[in-house]
Amino acid sequence: MTSSTTSDASVADDEAPRPPLPKLPRSTLNDSLLPELYKWSLSHGLMVYKENSTPNEATMVPLTAYPTPIPRKAFEAAIDVQLPFNQLYAKISTVGTDQESSFISKVSSKLAKSDPTFTGKLWTLQRKLFNQPSLQSFNLGIFRSDYLIDKTNFSSIKQVEFNTISVSFAGFSNKVAQLHSHLNRLGLYDPSGKNKQVYFDEVPVSNPANGFAKSMKKAIEFYSASSTYTTDRELVVAFIIQRNERNVFDQKCIEDELWESYGIKSIRLTFDDVVNELEYVKNDDERRLIVKRTGQEIAVVYYRTGYTFDDYISEKDWDARFFLEQSFAIKAPNLLTQLSGTKKIQQLLTDDKVLSQFIGDDEELRAKLNDTFVKIYPLDNTEMGEMGKKLATDPKLCENYVLKPQREGGGNNIYKKDIPKFLSTLNENEWDAYILMELIHNEPSLDNIICRNDEIFPLPILSELGIYGTIIFDDKGGIYYNHCPGWLLRSKFETSDEGGVVAGFGCLDSVFLY
């Protein structure tokens, strides 16, 4: 059975020229707009914990003062391909009966050799699972596909990456759009009242936090239906979180949606808590997972950690991950789905022959997905790999590329002229742990303002559009639920290479369409 929905976007078809953003004097910004922006943001929970702070110390998340213009055609193109991308990555994550010979297994096995301390550890856990009976056949994917808009063609989106674990800011995305609409309705973008900025009526608001919660509710239904046991225990969602998590309030939005919209409770656990507070139901061949203290049964394990090497500080953390993966709970994501999000998979999918393995003969769909790709090279001994090495080591040619590791987390990419120098510090047999990606040239927005740490920065910014996806699929490739619950816009200074918001590289933004 396959079910799909359209996105929550509802926009007009008529295209309009790009209008200018407001140009307010500094005194108006300081006296009117910014005080209201700060008050609204704080009263609506647009906050993160300060680094190394106590639970009582939080600060406003970095934001733009205005929504940023995004071409309608580009926005709709990104929405249009999300459901196919969900299905594509679900198929990649499915191994079938010949587990070790599947596409994801072959790729992961090779990556494990070039990145033994992280990808290799994930793959080792997965191989151990292959040697056990598969208890839970259903999987939950909560994804985000990130794009930049090609400045040579404003209707053309180019994929930066496809994220398969711990996608953030689903709870804040709609709040930032609501903030910008609120400021506009108050007239703070045009204090004179003479030239109302009516184009801000085109700020679309989605609610991805509710979409995430809905997918978890659906997953719980499949969990209950797939068990051979009946239970009177309370079924809950376990958020597996980082130690000293700073982005708590964004995550709490999803927890609130689970409870307020669907009556489902959630618990928050670090890997330490998993070891100390959870156990399998005794004499239970399904390995159902319960909380010792309360007796609650965990139906869904939702990872907001575990995506980077730094999240595993000891072997106990790896043991905790394996303990969760062995359980009957539905994982979001499981190990195979996490491994499908490596940069190597992204690179391989730019080969039409590889893409065709999963898309089949649907030429129109293949063309749509291919149109979002830029050139990505391996750094191995294949013909493409030799070309990648040539580009990466040439001091002039490398200026149009970024070197990316398999690992997530921000701050790990190497850009332009720094690539040859960085590669020279590695043994060449380690290069295969990286991919070389063509830079996407994005048109900066010149008139927006970033508000961060009580300061404002009226500097050119670049914006990245993220489209969320949720999907429930099984180990045989069946698709049971496929949805696009919304979007996210993040912006950064034009001069900054990285864009992580909590890490301090970027800020949250919202879309207006033209």
Q: Which residues are CB-contacts of 373 (< 8 A; sequence separation ≥ 6)? A: 158, 159, 349, 350
C-alpha angle 482-239-487 in degrees, rounded to nearest 5: 40
Q: Is 161 annotated as catalytic?
A: yes
Query: Which among 93, 168, 174, 491 is annotated as catalytic?
Result: 168
Is 438 annotated as a binding-site member?
yes
Q: How far is CA 283 from the centre of its chain?
A: 38
Instruction: Give backbone dihedrals phi and psi of 231, rounded to 5 degrees, phi first.
Output: -140, 145
From residue 313, give the alpha-carbon distance in Å to each of 52, 282, 339: 18, 29, 20
Q: Is 343 annotated as catalytic?
A: yes
According to DSSP, residue 29 is labeled I
**Intra-chain end-to-end CA distance of the chain, in Å:** 38
Query: Which among 72, 304, 321, 343 is annotated as catalytic?
Result: 343
140 forms bridges with which residues in the sheet?
472
Query: Which among 36, 76, 161, 277 is annotated as catalytic?
Result: 161
Is 498 annotated as a binding-site member?
yes
Residue given tokens 């159902």 in the structure block? 288
DSSP string across 313-354: -SHHHHHHHHHHHHSSSEEET-HHHHHTTSHHHHHHHTSHHH
From residue 375, give the alpha-carbon distance in Å to each of 137, 295, 348, 451: 35, 51, 10, 34
Are 150 and 78 in contact, with CB atoms under 8 Å apart? no
Q: Is 408 annotated as catalytic?
A: yes
Is 411 annotated as a binding-site member?
yes
Is 410 annotated as a binding-site member?
yes
Is 136 annotated as a binding-site member?
no
Is 406 annotated as a binding-site member?
yes
As a whole number of angstroms, the distance between CA 396 and CA 416 comes to 9
Is 26 annotated as a binding-site member?
no
Are 419 and 403 in contact, with CB atoms under 8 Å apart? yes
Is 407 annotated as a binding-site member?
yes
Burial (0-12, 13-18, 19+ Cβ within 10 Å), 178? middle
Is 409 annotated as a binding-site member?
yes
- State the CB neighbour count (10 A cutoff) for residue 231: 13
DSSP string across 164-209: -S----TTTHHHHHHHHHHHHHTTTT-TTSSS--GGGGG-----HH
According to DSSP, residue 154 is labeled T
Q: Which residues are CB-contacts of 102 (< 8 A; sequence separation ≥ 6)? A: 94, 95, 96
Is 413 annotated as a binding-site member?
yes
Q: Is 404 annotated as catalytic?
A: yes
Q: Is 127 annotated as catalytic?
A: no
Query: Which among 72, 288, 304, 404 is annotated as catalytic?
Result: 404
Burial (0-12, 13-18, 19+ Cβ within 10 Å), 376? buried
Is 464 annotated as a binding-site member?
yes
Is 51 annotated as a binding-site member?
no
Question: Which is nearest to 225 in space by CA: 330, 301, 142?
Answer: 330
Query: Which among 108, 163, 184, 448 is annotated as catalytic?
Result: 163
Which parts are annotated binding residues for substrate? 251, 490
Which parts are annotated binding residues for Mg(2+)? 161, 163, 408
Which parts are annotated binding residues? 144, 161, 163, 251, 343, 404-413, 415, 437-440, 464, 490, 492, 498
Which parts are annotated binding residues for ATP? 144, 161, 343, 404-413, 415, 437-440, 464, 492, 498
> Which residues have a catalytic role annotated?
144, 161, 163, 168, 343, 404, 408-409, 490
